[in-house]
Amino acid sequence: NKFHYKYLNIKYLLANAYFLFLLILELIPQISSLSWITTGFALIVVLSITGVKDAIDDINRHKCDRQVNNRKVDVLMDGQLKNEKWMNVQVGDIVKLGNNEFVTVTSERNSFKGTLTVNGERYALDNDKVLLRGCTLRNTEWCFGLVIFGGPDSKLIQNSGKSMFKRTSIDHLTNILVLCIFGFLASMCSILTIGNAIWERNEGSVFTMFLPREPGIDAPLASFLIFWSYVIVLNALIPSSLYVSVEFIRLGNSFFIDWDRKMYYPKNDTPAQARTTTLNEELGQIKYIFSDKTGTLTQNIMTFNKCSINGKAYGEQVDFSWNNLADPKYNFHDHSLVEMVRSGNPETQEFFRLLSLCHTVMTHRQGELSYQAQSPDEGALVTAARNFGFVFRSRTPETITVVEMGRQVIYELLAILDFNNMRKRMSVIVRSPEGKLTLYCKGADTVIFERLHPSCNKLMEVTTDHLNEYAGDGLRTLVLAYKDLNENYMIDWKQRHHEASVAMEGREEKLDELYEEIEKDMMLLGATAVEDKLQDGVPQTIEQLAKADIKIWVLTGDKQETAENIGYSCNMLREEMKDVFVVSANTAEGVKEDPHPQGARPPLWEPLHYGVLTDDLTPIPSSLHHQAFALEKNLRLELLRTACMCQTVICCRVTPLQKAQVVQLVKKYKQAVTLAIGDGANDVSMIKAAHIGVGISGQEGMQAVLSSDYSFAQFRYLQRLLLVHGRWSYIRMCKFLGYFFYKNFTFTLVQFWYAFFCGFSAQTVYDEWFITFYNMVYTALPVLGMCLFDQDVNDRWSLQHPELYAPGQKNQYFNKKAFVSYLIHGCYCSLIIFFIPWASMNDAVRNDGKDIVSHPSFAFLLQTCLLAVVHTQLCVDTYYWTAVNHFFVLLSTIGYFAISVTMYSNGMFYVFTSSFPLIGAARNTLNQPIVWLTIFLTFLLCILPVVAIRFIFIQLRPTINDKVRYKMRTEELPGPAPRHLLRRRSTRSGYAFSHSQGYGDLVTSRKFLMKRSTKRAPLFTQTDSSIFQNQPQHYRTIAEEAEESQSHKL
């Protein structure tokens, strides 16, 4: 987004401005002792790479913008339809949309009410007649619409939340450390400037006879110029290649996510995708995960599993081969129910007749009969009726056609009493061909039972027992009832219904009164149980993430019972928890007075939505009212403190905005890295609010994916994204920064020590070309190789031991303390690298009695010792060696000697005499045995203490990484642990639907249904491969292995 783009530009602008300033200083003869090429070469390379990367990003960004803005739509202008681009559509235009076309703009965001008069007849207008931007027109050949809102005023953009630039915690820390390095650089330059002033006063005057000062430059001015000279000499403390190298590493790790075939979902031909390249290491530091439920944890595909009809429960395997119109993909588990239907049992047939009539499903035929339902629940129930012989075939605004046990029956549709969150039920009123008027109703048990005839009390008790059993299995339940109506009453009721539907004032209240009037004294038929299956591997993934000490909060729009059942199904709520405490009051005072399960309230207790908590209590918020109370300004911190004491938090009935508010609350006050994952447009604001946003490409479109930082097809891939790629990326970035600072501290501090031996004259100890190539050529490839391919343990052991993830959450691998240790290490190595060669070469002579040491030979020796030490340190830091790592290290080492020998050769002197005057310095230096002894001694004194300290710490205070690496070398990876299925406690799901408003009015409107199905060809056609099967992996932890070994011993 534009904020990200601006921040990166500012960051690079400041860094590049600093190096441009250095370049200008190097062009001033009175200041610089180095050629401008030392900084100019690096600056040109960095700017070129950055420019190419930014250009690619700009091109892709504008390409996406053009793709959306240049979509075409028919606009009615001057009585004719003209094809216009989306960008040219304005408020007030009338547009024509066709089937499967995107809705161009968004209509009214708030409550909308009105009437439309056609040929003297009034029709009701409300929010159901509004098409929102981002939707796709389905099952309708065409429609005309008036543009009410567009662009940033559309509901899609308003609900998407602000686009915020996301930076990693390592970015924040690095920026702080860079400022500290600036201070450190200024301090060193100040010390050397003071040293220069003292030396000039005590010693410099002796040399003025044959080295006179330049005219107009006295001692104070000379010291001032020396300060800036040392800024140039010591500028390698902050190398220009730092930010570019970071971007390369992030880009490489992003490609590894894109290429991971274990995160590829062959069923939908969907690979994992890193949609950003700047947040990879943040994946290794996640502390809180905020997840949607439907479509994220579940498949959002419902199946009709069990039912209760007239007091008898059904649910065993059934063969539907007797029914030619049955759905071949449908399975049910009870032969006795089929026999009841086929034998003509009136209660059973009425049960399935209700399911075939009481819905808003649309049909579509393209080769075979298929259904389009507003919710998966409705589709599952209508499919069940179809398989049991009551086949919904088609509908018009006035009729419903059903094939009942092979006989076509056309019912007249008189009214649809639609579902909403307050009613928690829906009804249809139909007239059979025989003229019988019947109201069919389905809904939550709590609302249906209140409206039953007193004669149903005994049947209601039996059905209640069945509902409890179904809810204990985590199924979503509905209760079915019917009522026979009188013809005269129906005529009067329908007239009053029409008057209420077109009323401009109190329309909803008048309709609710009519619905309440007719939906009473109904007769109970039974109950349905529908399963929203979890995605493969969800319980195991949540278990693994919990072992990694990651807190998982589920934020869902579903009701409390449904959320609680899913909590047990996906292993978030477990039987070993002492209690599940639910706050269910509708006012702040009521919430405050809700009793504590243990009879006492902890000091943190306030009127909080999440409930009272102790160590093992899990709060489950139960209504939108409580969420509003908890997110009030004076209760936010208490909400956070209380909720964070829980093992698990499940928020029910939350709006998209409230999801984002909960995420922002934790993000702001806990100072922890957050991740939000969802699959629908209602999750976009939450995804944008979190540090990391993950989109699942599922049943609810691509809006969540388009707003996310990472995307894949299944929730179970999240454990691999975090525990493998996230952890590796974090470790690699920490290693890179630590090593990068270490090698530059070592390089620069050698210059600092040399200043005390050259009269603080800003003379460089290194050759100018070595200064130019040190970061860009000699040390660039080895560190990139390590930070792209290094693994402390492989992916299987990373998943086997989720506790390896904990150090990243605590910032243990790179922090201020670690930075100081790198500074101390660099200081120590610089002392060894400078003083050991200085001492050994000070009085050394060649075989012919001439002095070995000269400035070129001494510089070459220091350079060789430096590269030998930093390359060996990199080898010590590397855990996982690949052919690329070996090649990069060898190439850099051989390249250094080849370049050095070439630069000091006769040929370079003859061609570029002024640039390469030091003939034979490298060759003559390497011919001396004492030089090789000095290199070996320097290398030994720098590396041996590091190896010794690490050995001692591994023996005395091994980390979890050390333990697992040792285990990986000595043991084989254990097989998957057996899964023990736990019986969940009984919690009834009161209503299966999770949507807020039905489409009854749309069904009774005059639209013709049509749908075209498209299917993308799979990437892999071999279905027996492990990639295609893509089964979740289960691993045992160290604790589970210990328990298992103990049981074997017993």
CB 918 within 8 A of CB 904: yes
Q: In angstroms, rounded to a whole number, what is the distance separating the alpha carbons of residues 102 and 109?
A: 18
Q: Which of 292, 532, 767, 792 is catalytic?
A: 292
The answer to whether the annotation marks 614 as part of a ligand binding site is no
Q: In angstroms, rounded to a whole number, what is the distance separating the alpha carbons of residues 281 and 252?
A: 12
The answer to whether the annotation marks 293 as part of a ligand binding site is yes
Q: In angstroms, rounded to a whole number, what is the distance separating the alpha carbons of residues 719 and 18?
A: 41
CA quadruple 234, 240, 241, 245: dihedral positive or negative? positive
The answer to whether the annotation marks 557 as part of a ligand binding site is yes
CB 981 within 8 A of CB 806: no
For the chain, the 3-state helix, strand and coil shares in percent, each to the nearest 5, are 50, 15, 35
The answer to whether the annotation marks 683 as part of a ligand binding site is yes
Distance set, CA 745 to CA 278, 742, 823, 938 (Å): 26, 5, 6, 17
User: DSSP for 11-55?
Assistant: HHHHHHHHHHHHHHHHT-TTT-SS-THHHHHHHHHHHHHHHHHHH
Q: DSSP alpha helices (H): ranges in 200-240? A: 205-207, 219-233
Which candidate, 500, 505, 397, 502, places its Cα nearest to that of 117? Answer: 502
Element (H, E) at 885: helix 883-903
- DSSP annotation of 490: H
Q: Which residues of 704-721 are buried (b: 16+ CB within 10 A; e: fewer)?
A: bbbbbbbbbbbbbbbbbb
286 backbone dihedrals φ, ψ, rounded to 5°? -65, 135
The answer to whether the annotation marks 9 as part of a ligand binding site is no
The answer to whether the annotation marks 659 as part of a ligand binding site is yes
CA quadruple 245, 249, 254, 258: dihedral positive or negative? positive
The answer to whether the annotation marks 378 as part of a ligand binding site is yes
The answer to whether the annotation marks 442 as part of a ligand binding site is yes
Q: Taking the CB of residue 101, how many other CB atoms lie within 10 A of it?
A: 20
Q: In angstroms, rounded to a whole number, what is the distance separating the alpha carbons of residues 476 and 294?
A: 13
Q: In angstroms, rounded to a whole number, what is the distance separating the alpha carbons of residues 870 and 748?
A: 13
The answer to whether the annotation marks 795 as part of a ligand binding site is no
The answer to whether the annotation marks 558 as part of a ligand binding site is yes
The answer to whether the annotation marks 476 as part of a ligand binding site is yes
620 forms bridges with which residues in the sheet? Answer: 582
Any residues with CB less than 8 A from the CB of 287 and at least 6 apart, and which? 549, 550, 551, 670, 672, 673, 674, 809
Q: Residue 57: what residue type?
A: D
The answer to whether the annotation marks 258 as part of a ligand binding site is no
Angle, CA of 611, 615 and 619, to the nearest 5°: 25
The answer to whether the annotation marks 292 as part of a ligand binding site is yes
Residue listed under structure tokens 């007849």 = 121
Long-range contacts of 1014-1018 (CB under 8 A, 24+ apart): 1016/268, 1016/269, 1017/269, 1018/266, 1018/267, 1018/269
Angle, CA of 1031, 1034 and 1038, to the nearest 5°: 165
333 forms bridges with which residues in the sheet? Answer: none
3-state secondary structure 289-335: EEECCCCCCEEEEEEEEEEEECCEEECCCCCCCCCCCCCCCCCCCCH
The answer to whether the annotation marks 155 as part of a ligand binding site is no
- 403: three-class secondary structure by DSSP: strand
**493: its two tokens:** 């009721």
Distance set, CA 284 to CA 13, 692, 759 (Å): 29, 11, 49
Q: In angstroms, rounded to a whole number, what is the distance separating the alpha carbons of residues 177 and 173?
A: 6
Angle, CA of 154, 155 and 158, to the nearest 5°: 90
The answer to whether the annotation marks 327 as part of a ligand binding site is no
Any residues with CB less than 8 A from the CB of 860 and at least 6 apart, and which? 767, 900, 904, 921, 922, 925
292 is catalytic: yes
Residue listed under structure tokens 């060809």 = 1017
β-pair type (298-309, 312-314): antiparallel
Q: Which residues are catalytic?
A: 292
Binding residues for ATP: 292-294, 378, 419, 442, 476, 556-558, 653, 659, 682-683
Binding residues for Mg(2+): 292, 294, 679, 683
Binding residues: 292-294, 378, 419, 442, 476, 556-558, 653, 659, 679, 682-683
